[in-house]
A and B are shown apart, each in its own frame.
Chain A
Amino acid sequence: SQQGEEDPQALSIQEGENATMNCSYKTSINNLQWYRQNSGRGLVHLILIRSNEREKHSGRLRVTLDTSKKSSSLLITASRAADTASYFCATDATGRRALTFGSGTRLQVQP
C-alpha cells in the first residue's frame, strides 16, 4: 500500500514558472526522497532529505520536510520543458530498506 498522497495529482505551468508539489506520509521515517519518472521509464533520484533536516537544496530543486506534520514539499524553480515528468516522493521508514511511494504528481511544463 502507498504511504501517502501527493498533491496536486497534476500540474500544468509555463516555462520559467515555479512548480510546487506536496507529499504527505503516515509513519515515522528515516529519510524522504524525491524521484522523477519520464513516461514509462525508470525513476531518477533527485534529492534525499533526512528526518533531522528541514530543508535541502540541489540546483533548481528545494525540498522541505516537516516531520511534525508528516509532510514534504518539492519546489522546482525556473521550470523548463524538460522538467515535464511525474514526480514521486518516497519514504524510507526507520529500520527498513524498502521505499514507500506516494501517488505522484504529473507535471507538464508548457514551452
Chain B
Amino acid sequence: KAGVTQTPRYLIKTRGQQVTLSCSPISGHRSVSWYQQTPGQGLQFLFEYFSETQRNKGNFPGRFSGRQFSNSRSEMNVSTLELGDSALYLCASSKDDLPGGYTFGSGTRLTVV
C-alpha cells in the first residue's frame, strides 16, 4: 500500500514569506502528526490532527499552523518565515489504536534564505 506522501520534497523561500506543506497519510489512517527536525533542536513535535481536529500542539509560535481535511490529508503553514525555520518537516500518520507506531513520510526540506 502507498506510504505517507509529503509534497514538495524541497522548498526554498525568502524570509518573511509564508509556506504551505502537504501530507497525505496512509489510507485508513486518521491521525496525522507533524514534526520539525533541525541539527540544533533535533526532532520536535508540532501538532497532531484527528478527524479534522487538532488534538495536541507542541511548543511552537503561532506562526506555525495546520489543518486536516475530511479525507485525512493535512497541511501545515508557516507564516512570516525566519531563517531558523529552515528544517526538515516530517509528517507521520497512524491508526488511532493506542498505542501504535507511526509511519513517517520522507519529509519536506525547507530552506529559508
Residues of A within 8 A of B (CB): 1-2, 30-31, 33, 35, 40-45, 48, 50, 88, 90, 92, 96-104
How many A-B pairs have beta carbons closer than 8 Å: the answer is 67
CA distance A41 to B4 in the complex (A): 13
Q: Report whether A42 and B104 are in contact in the complex, using a CB–CB cutoff of 8 Å.
A: yes
* CB pair B45 A98 closer than 8 Å: yes
- Tell me whether B99 and A31 are in contact (CB under 8 A): yes
Q: Are A42 and B106 in contact (CB under 8 A)?
A: yes
CB atoms of B106 and A41 under 8 A apart: yes
Q: How far is the CB of B48 from chain A (nearest CB, A)?
A: 5
Chain B residue numbers with a CB within 8 Å of A2 are: 41-44
Residue of A33, A35, A98, A104 near B33 (CB, 8 A) is A98
- Asked if A41 contacts B107 (CB within 8 A), the reply is yes
Question: Closest chain A residue to B46 by CB distance?
Answer: A98
Q: Across the interface, name the chain A residue whose C-beta is closest to B88.
A: A40
What are 24 A-B residue pairs whose CB atoms fall within 8 Å in the complex?
A: A2-B44, A30-B98, A33-B102, A35-B104, A40-B88, A42-B90, A42-B106, A42-B107, A43-B90, A43-B92, A43-B104, A44-B104, A45-B101, A48-B101, A92-B99, A97-B33, A97-B56, A97-B98, A98-B33, A98-B45, A98-B56, A99-B102, A101-B35, A102-B42
B37 to chain A, nearest CB (A): 9
Q: Is B103 an interface residue (CB 8 A)?
A: yes
Any chain A CB within 8 A of the CB of B105?
yes
